[in-house]
Amino acid sequence: MTQNFSLKDQFFNAEKTRYLAGLFADAEPSFKAEAFEAKVMARLPELELKERMAWIAACLQDAVPGDLPTVAPIILRALPPPLDPGKSDDDFGDFIFAPLGDWVCAIGLDHPELSLSVLEEITQRFSMEWAIRPFLNHHPELVMERMQDWCAHPSYHVRRLVSEGTRPRLPWGQAVGLALSDPLPLLDRLHGDQTRYVTRSIANHLNDITKKDPDIVLERLRLWGESNQQDREELHWMTSHALRGLVKSGHSGAMRALGYDPDADITVELQVNGPARIGEVLEFETRLNGANSQPVLIDYIVHFQRPGGKVSPKVHKLKQAELKDGQLTLSKRHKLKGNATTFKLVPGPHRLEIQVNGRVRTGIDFELLA
C-alpha cells in the first residue's frame, strides 16, 4: 500500500486544483474556474512534482493575463488567511500555493519591490524559498536589504524565508551567486529566534556551509555562544544539527565544539556475531574502556562493496553517552536490506569500523553472504 504513495499526487491533484480555482474565482469575477481546472488536469497526471508546479503557474498566467502590477492585487485577494501564528514548527503550508511563486518569478523580475511584497504574503501560506532565489540573482542588494526587515517580521514564516532562501545548497533550489559569508549578518540576527522552524533552517544553512568552509561555521557558533541571545539547550541543538555532516566525517573541530575529545584515551573492542547475509542483519557488539564519565559520540562505519570493485563507506549513529565506571558495552543489529532501490548490496568482503569522537578506533573484516 505505502509503496504506491505519491507526493506529487498528494500535493497536486484535481481536488487541490479545484480549491485553487475557487480562490481565484472569488477574487476575480472574470476568472473561468472550470476552464482553468480542465486545462490543468489535461496534463497534470503525466508531469512530475516540479513540472506540475510550473504547469499550474503557466495555466494561472494564461487565466489571469498581465504584468505583476496588474496581477498582484488579484493574487493577494485570492490568498486564504495566513498559517496559524500560534504554531512554531512543522507548518510548511499547502503545496498548491507553490505555483504562485513560479508565477511571480515569470512576470515580476522587472518589478522587484512589488514582487518581494507579494512573496512576503504568499510565504505565510507556503514557503517561497525557491521563488526568492531568482530575485537574489537579479537584484541581490535589494533582496538582502529587504531581508534585514524580514528578520524582525512578526511571522516566523517570513523570518525563516531569510535563512532558507539564502541557503547555499537549497534542495530543488536555483543556485545563487551569494558568497558563503553574505547571509551571515542575517543569521546573526536570526539565531536567537524562539521558533524551531527558524532555528532548524539556520542549522541547515550552516550545515550547507560546512561542505565548503567548516571554519566559518565553527567560528560563528562560538560567537553565538558568547552572545547569549539563544537558550543554551536550543543553541546546543542547533550546533549538533549544523555540524552533523562534519561529525560523520570525524572533523576534530566539530567534535570539540560539541564537547567530545577526539584525542581521548579510549580503547575499543569489536566482534561480529554470526554470519551476515543480504536480507538479514549484521549483528555486532563493541566495548569501550576509558576515563570515568568520559563523554563519547560513537558511530559505526560499514564499508560496502560496490559493483566494479569500488568500496562505499556509510556512517551510522550508534550512541551518545558517558563511560560510566570507565566502561560501555553496546550491541547493534544493522538491517541488510536486499530490496532497497537506492543502494544495492553486493556479496563479498566488507569491513566494519567503530568511530569514537571522530576517530576510527578499531575495525573488523567480514564476509557479506548472498
Q: Is residue 53 part of a domain?
A: no
Q: Is residue 273 part of a domain?
A: yes
Q: Is residue 80 part of a domain?
A: no
pLDDT class of 91 with cuts at 50, 70, 90:
confident
Q: What is the pLDDT of residues 205-244, one digit of tens each?
A: 999 999 999 999 999 999 999 999 999 999 999 999 999 9
Q: What is the pLDDT of residues 55-64, one digit of tens each?
A: 999 999 999 9
Q: Is residue 344 part of a domain?
A: yes
Angle between helices 140-150 and 156-165 (to 10 degrees): 140
Instruction: For residues 78 and 84, give the distance between their C-alpha atoms in angstroms, rounded to a whole number.
Output: 18
DSSP string, 87-149: --SS--B-GGGHHHHHHHHHHHTT-HHHHHHHHHHHTTTB--TTTHHHHHHHSHHHHHHHHHH
Residue 173's identity, in one-letter code, is: G
Instruction: For residues 44 and 291, give the distance between their C-alpha atoms in angstroms, rounded to a whole number.
Output: 62
Q: What is the DSSP letter of 153?
A: -
Q: Is residue 82 part of a domain?
A: no
Q: Is residue 356 part of a domain?
A: yes
Q: Which residues contact 147 (CB under 8 A, 6 or more apart)?
A: 161, 162, 165, 166, 186
Q: Is residue 133 part of a domain?
A: no
Give the domain extent around 318.
267-369
Pairing state between β 276-277 and 359-369: parallel
Q: What is the pLDDT of residues 166-183, one digit of tens each?
A: 999 999 999 999 999 999
pLDDT class of 10 with cuts at 50, 70, 90:
very high
Instruction: Lowest mean pLDDT of 148-162, 179-193, 336-350, name the range.
Output: 336-350
CA 361 → CA 320, 335, 348, 349, distances in Å? Answer: 16, 23, 24, 20
What are the cell numbers at 310? 569500488
Q: What is the pLDDT of residues 24-37, one digit of tens each?
A: 999 999 999 999 99
What are the backbone dihedrals phi and psi of residue 327, each rounded to the nearest 5 degrees, phi first? Answer: -140, 155
Residue 191 CB coordination number (10 Å): 24
Return the bridge partners of 349, or none: 367
Residue 196 CB coordination number (10 Å): 16
CA 142 → CA 127, 136, 145, 186, 221, distances in Å? Answer: 20, 8, 5, 14, 27
CA 87 → CA 77, 149, 194, 236, distances in Å? Answer: 24, 22, 11, 22
The percent helix, strand, coil of the chain (3-state, each to 5) is 50, 20, 35
pLDDT class of 52 with cuts at 50, 70, 90:
very high
* Element holding 284 (H helix, E strand): strand 281-289
Residue 223 CB coordination number (10 Å): 12
Q: Are 269 and 310 in contact (CB under 8 A)?
A: no
* Number of domains composing the chain: 1
| Span 153-176, average pLDDT | 96
State the pTM of this model. Answer: 0.89
Identify the CATH number of the domain in which residue 334 sits. 2.60.40.1930
What are the backbone dihedrals phi and psi of residue 331, each rounded to the nearest 5 degrees, phi first? Answer: -130, 155
Q: Is residue 215 part of a domain?
A: no
Q: Which of 319, 345, 321 is nearest to 332 (CA)?
A: 319
What are the cell numbers at 121? 504574503
Q: Which of 123, 201, 131 is nearest to 164 (CA)?
A: 201
Asked whether the predicted pLDDT for residue 47 surpasses 70, the reply is: yes
* Element holding 304 (H helix, E strand): strand 295-305
Rg (C-alpha) for the chain, rounded Å, is: 25
